[in-house]
Amino acid sequence: MKNRLLKSIRFKVVIICVESFLLSVITLYIMYQIIYTNRFKSPVRNLYNTITKYITIQQAIIFAGVILFIVYLLILVSRIIKYIDKISYNVNEIAKGNFDAKIDKINKDELGQLANNINNMARQIETLIREEHEATESKNYLITGLSHDLKTPLTSIYGYLELINNDNYKDEVELRYYIDIAFKKTIQLKNMIEQLFNYTKYSSSSIEVEKVNINVKELLKQLVIEYYPFFLKEDLECRLNFGKEKYEIQADSKLLFRVFENLISNAVRYSGENSKFIDINLESEGEKIYIHFINYDNIIPAYQQEFIFNRFYKIEQSRAHDSDSSGLGLAIAKTIVELNDGDISVSSKDNKTIFTVTFNKIDKSLVKDR
């Protein structure tokens, strides 16, 4: 409290007033000594007689003291005035949109706090404007990507329905073929719209995450059992490599189930033609739990790995044709993982691709029973 008072602008003003008073007194004393020493010289005597004709010597001393006090006060306070002018100039620059205008030298008083607040305000406004610009670009990208992705199945549906409507087919077999294609494209369109809806929902700050105590091992076992027909159809075996731990984390079970579904589906989709396995490994190290989803015989080029979690980004090669992909699955997975305070990454080399989901081990003091 004492240090804050000593550094305050009020204390500085008091000190300046005291300094001005002392300097005025010293200057008056020096002037008095000079005048007293030269009192018998004609110029000094004439000046003395002129002054005393109108006012007393005491009045003259008081008047001179006041003038000197004001002069010294203005000189000493000029540093504060210059600092205020600098703050005012920077505020005007910020108002013009120049957010690089910063007050470099920060005093340790109220004016310094004001300058620091102005600097922080400029940074925050600059950040908000940049975020708004990025949001606008993101929205435009979303609309462009969505329009492009929806246009392809819609064009196919319209084209085949037009052929059917115009009776432009040879026989019932060809008619059934056209209907089948239109139906598949309709399903694709439906899935893409659902994916977009989910991405928008999960990206919203209003979504509520209900974290509970989850045994990751049991959750993955359940998911692999449900996907068994899918593995069988693709002639793949899913191998589980778990340790003896429970691998417990705090997360929203429904959202996490969706992430694991997506990563298993991707592992199957992007396995190579000659691949026979996908692996799911659980590891624990320190306070972290790592869940690895591994597929083989088909790597993701390094230049694609950087963008793989971006929305609408599609990997160029896959086991099955990727035309029905919305490019939102991994973006949704990343959003969900981050909502649950986790991290997701990809590594693809040595003829295998690994998606790794990382969570903190459960804090026993914060456990919420399922």
pLDDT value at residue 239: 92
pLDDT value at residue 58: 73
Q: Contact, 314 vs 328, CB < 8 A?
A: no
pLDDT value at residue 18: 87
Q: Contact, 269 vs 320, CB < 8 A?
A: yes
Judged on CB neighbours under 10 Å (0-12, 13-18, 19+), 144 is exposed
Buried/exposed code over 290-299 (b: 16+ C-beta within 10 A; e: otherwise) = bbbbbbbbbb
pLDDT value at residue 147: 67
pLDDT value at residue 114: 77
Residues pairing with 281 in the sheet: 241, 292
pLDDT value at residue 3: 55
Distance CA 279, CA 240 (A): 6
pLDDT value at residue 77: 81
What pTM did the predictor assign? 0.54
pLDDT value at residue 61: 75
Q: Which of 304, 300, 309 is nearest to 335 (CA)?
A: 309
The series of mean pLDDT values per 10 residues for the chain, 370 residues long, is 58 81 86 72 70 71 84 83 79 77 67 78 80 68 64 82 87 88 84 71 68 89 88 89 84 88 87 87 90 89 79 58 61 87 90 92 57
Question: Dihedral angle at the C-alpha atoms of 254, 257, 261, 262, nearest 10 degrees?
Answer: 70
Q: Contact, 354 vs 293, CB < 8 A?
A: yes
Helix, coil or strand: residue 287: coil
pLDDT value at residue 370: 42
pLDDT value at residue 368: 47
